[in-house]
Amino acid sequence: MIAAMIQASTTTADIMKAGLMEEIFSERTLQATGPFMALSFGILLLVLAEIVPGLQLLRKLIFIATLGVAGWCAWKTIGAPEAWVFEDTYVANSTTGWWTMLFLAATFIAWLFGQRYYKAESALEGEHDLLMMSACAGMVLMAGSRDLLVFFVGLELLSVPLYTLSAFQRSRRESVEAGLKYFVLGAFAAATYLFGSALVYAGTGTLTFKAINPADLGGPLVIAGAALIAASLFFKVSVFPFHMWVPDVYQGAPAPVTTFMATGTKAAAFAFLVPAAAALLPYESKHLAAVIALVTMAVGNFGALVQTDLKRLLAYSGVAHAGTLLLAIAALQGEPGPDAAMRAVLFYMAAYVFTAGGAFGLVTMLESQTGRAVTIDSIKGLAAKRPGIAAALALFMLSLGGIPATGGFLGKYLVFSLAVRSDLLVVALIGIVLSVVALAYYLRVIVALYMQPEMDGKPVPTQARALSGLVAFACAVMVLALGLVPAWFLDSLR
C-alpha cells in the first residue's frame, strides 16, 4: 500500500515536470480520455440536476445525452491510432473503444429496464441514475488502464456505487442484505487487490505494465502478488472459488442493478483481466488457469441445473460463462497471444451483454409487473399470452446455450478455437461436455415458456410494457446480428 502511494506520488511529480497542462490538454489525451471525461461531466450535471430546482425534469435527458456524447467520443477512438497517455498508464485504441461502447450499452439497457421498476424509492431515482453513471465511468477507466493503480481507481469508482445500488431498495430486506454481502466481500477483494499490487511493486519496482521488466516476473513476490490480484478479479467476474456471493446478490439486488452487474461489471473486469494476465502471469500458469476455468464451468452449470428462481439460474449461468471466458485467458499464454484472446473475449462479452442484458431485463419487467420473484413455474405458458416476450427470452436462452445463428455461438466458437490453437484440446473437449449440461437448463426455460400450461394461481401478466419490449427487441436484434452478420464487428477489431 505504501509502495503504491509512493509510486502514485512519483508519477504525479513526473507529470508536473513534463508540464501538467500540456499533457492533459494535448489533443491525444483528450481523445483518449474523451469518453471518461464526458461521463464525469455528466455526473456533475446529474448532481446539479438534483440540487437546482426545476432541473430535475431534465434528468433523463441529461442521462441519455451523456451516454450519447460518451458513445460518440468512444466511436472516435475506434480505428484511430493507438494512444498511450499519462506515462503509459492508460491506453485508447479500437479495443478499448469497443469496450467503452459495450459498457455504455450495458448501462443504457439496465437503465431502460429500470424505468418504472422502483415504486417506494421512485423519489430517489435521481440518486440511482447518478450512481449508475459513476459506475459506468469506473468501467471505462478499468478497460483503458494499463497500470495497477489506475485500474484500482476505476474499480472503486465502479464498486462503491454498486454496493449502494444493490441495497437501493432499502425497504426490502433482501436488497439490503445483498448490498451488505456484496460490500463486505467487495471490500475484502479490494484489500486483496491492493496487497497484491504492493507485492508486484516490491518485486518489479513499477505498477505500469509497460515498465515491467519481463526478467522480474518469475520472482516469488511477483507470483504471490499476481495470484492475489487474480483472486480479487476472479471475485469480480465470479470465478470459482470466489463465486459464492453471486447467486445471493443477484437474487437480492433490485433487478435492474442485477442486469447491470451481470453484464457491465463482468465485461469491465475481463477487459482488464486480459492485459493484466498477459503482463503478469507466467506461461506456466496456463494449465492452472484452464483447470480453474473448467471447475468454474462445472460449478456454474451444475449449480444452475437445480435452480427454480430465474435470477439465480441466470446467476449460475453467469458463473459458467465466466469460466468459459477464463479459458480464453488461459489460452492467451499459448500460441494465439493476448491480441487474439482480447478479440475473442470482447466478442464473447458483446454477445453476452446483449443476451444476458435482455434476459435479465425481461425478468426485471416480469418481476415488476407481478411483484413476485420470477421462477420457472411462474413463466409457464407465457408463450400463449405474450408471444413476443417469450420468443425473445427463448432466443436469449439459445444464445446463452451457444446455438448457431446467435452471437453466443460465435463467441463460444472463438473462445474454444483459442483453446484448440494453444494445445488445450482436452480442456476444450471437457468444456464442450459441460456446455451440453448448460443446454439442459436453458432448454428447461424454453420448455416452461412454450410447452407447459400456465400454473394455477400463478397467472402470467398480460399487459405489455412498451419500453421494455422495445429494449428486449433491440437486444434480440443485436444477438442475431452478432451471430449472422458479424463481419462489421470482427473486421473493426483487427
Partner 1 sequence: MNFLSLTVLIFLPLVGALLVAATPSKAVGLQRGITLLTMFATGVIGIMLCLDFNGASAAAQHVEQRPWFTLPGGIPVAYKLGLDGLSVLMVALTALLGPIVMLSTWGHIHERVKEFMVWLLVMQTGMLGVFLSLDLVLFYTFWEVSLVPLYFILGIWGGSNRLYATIKFFLYTVFGSLVMLIAVIWLMYRFGTTDIVQLTNVAANLPGDVQLWLFAAFALAFSIKVPLMPFHTWLADAHTEAPTSGSVILAGVLLKMGTYGLLRFCIAMFPAAAIEAAPLMMALGAIGIVYGAFLAMAQTDIKRLVACSSVSHLGYVVLGLFAMTAAGLRGGLLQMVNHGLSTGMLFLLIGMIYERRHTRALDQYGGIASVMPVYALFFVIAVLSSVGLPGLNGFVGEYLVLLGTYERAPILAAIAVTGVIFGAVYLLMATRKLLFGPLVLQANKTLTDLRAREVVLMLPIVVLMVWMGVAPNTFLARTEGSLVDLTQRLDRARAVRTAELIRENETRPTVADAEESQNR
Interaction residues for partner 1, span 391-410 (CB under 8 A): 398, 403-405, 409
- The one segment of 47-55, 247-255, 374-382, 414-422 that binds partner 1 by CB under 8 A: 414-422
413 binds partner 1 (CB under 8 A): yes
Angle at 242 between CA 222 and CA 300, to 5 degrees: 130
CB of 434 to partner 1, least distance (A): 10
Q: Determine the Cα–Cα distance for residues 198 and 192; give it in Å rounded to an integer.
A: 10
477 binds partner 1 (CB under 8 A): no
Query: How many helices (DSSP H) and strands (DSSP E) are in the chain?
Result: 20, 2
Distances 184 to 166, 200, 464 between C-alpha atoms, Å: 12, 25, 39
436 binds partner 1 (CB under 8 A): yes
Q: Given candidates 5, 429, 467, 477, which one binds partner 1 under the rule CB under 8 A?
A: 429
> Cell 465502479 sits at which residue?
158
Burial class (CB in 10 A: 0-12, 13-18, 19+), 450: middle
Distances 451 to 144, 259, 303, 396, 466 between C-alpha atoms, Å: 46, 27, 24, 17, 26
CB of 420 to partner 1, least distance (A): 5
One character per residue 324-363, x = contact with partner 1 (rule: CB under 8 A):
------------x---x--xx-------------------
Identity of the residue, 141 or 414, whose beta carbon is nearer to partner 1 in the bound complex: 414
CB of 178 to partner 1, least distance (A): 33
Are residues 435 and 305 in contact, defined by beta-carbon separation less than 8 angstroms?
no
Q: Given candidates 84, 195, 302, 450, which one binds partner 1 under the rule CB under 8 A?
A: 450
288 binds partner 1 (CB under 8 A): no
DSSP 391-409: HHHHHHHHHHHT-TTSHHH
- Residue 142's nearest CA partner among 10, 253, 276 is 276
Q: Determine the Cα–Cα distance for residues 292 and 423; give it in Å rounded to an integer.
A: 17
Identity of the residue, 306 or 425, whose beta carbon is nearer to partner 1 in the bound complex: 425
Identity of the residue, 28 or 421, whose beta carbon is nearer to partner 1 in the bound complex: 421
Identity of the residue, 244 or 481, whose beta carbon is nearer to partner 1 in the bound complex: 481
> Cell 408463450 sits at which residue?
383
Torsion of CA 383, 386, 388, 391, to 10 degrees: -20
Q: Given candidates 193, 260, 348, 416, which one binds partner 1 under the rule CB under 8 A?
A: 416
491 binds partner 1 (CB under 8 A): yes
Task: Give the number of residues in contact with partner 1, rule: CB under 8 A.
Answer: 41
Distances 457 to 322, 375, 377, 389, 461 between C-alpha atoms, Å: 36, 13, 10, 21, 12
Q: Given candidates 3, 224, 244, 443, which one binds partner 1 under the rule CB under 8 A?
A: 443
425 binds partner 1 (CB under 8 A): yes
128 binds partner 1 (CB under 8 A): no
435 binds partner 1 (CB under 8 A): yes
215 binds partner 1 (CB under 8 A): no
Q: Determine the Cα–Cα distance for residues 290 and 293; give it in Å rounded to an integer.
A: 5
421 binds partner 1 (CB under 8 A): yes
Q: Determine the Cα–Cα distance for residues 105 and 51; give it in Å rounded to an integer.
A: 28
Burial class (CB in 10 A: 0-12, 13-18, 19+), 473: middle
- The one segment of 277-285, 301-309, 421-429, 453-461 that binds partner 1 by CB under 8 A: 421-429
Identity of the residue, 79 or 387, whose beta carbon is nearer to partner 1 in the bound complex: 387
CB of 418 to partner 1, least distance (A): 9
52 binds partner 1 (CB under 8 A): no
DSSP character at residue 282? -
For 83, phi then psi, to 5°, come to: -125, 120
- The one segment of 208-216, 266-274, 312-320, 429-437 that binds partner 1 by CB under 8 A: 429-437
Identity of the residue, 231 or 391, whose beta carbon is nearer to partner 1 in the bound complex: 391
Q: Given candidates 180, 420, 455, 464, which one binds partner 1 under the rule CB under 8 A?
A: 420
Binding region for partner 1 (CB under 8 A):
336, 340, 343-344, 383-384, 387, 398, 403-405, 409, 413-414, 416-417, 420-421, 425, 428-429, 432-433, 435-436, 439-440, 443-444, 446-447, 450-452, 485-487, 490-491, 493-494
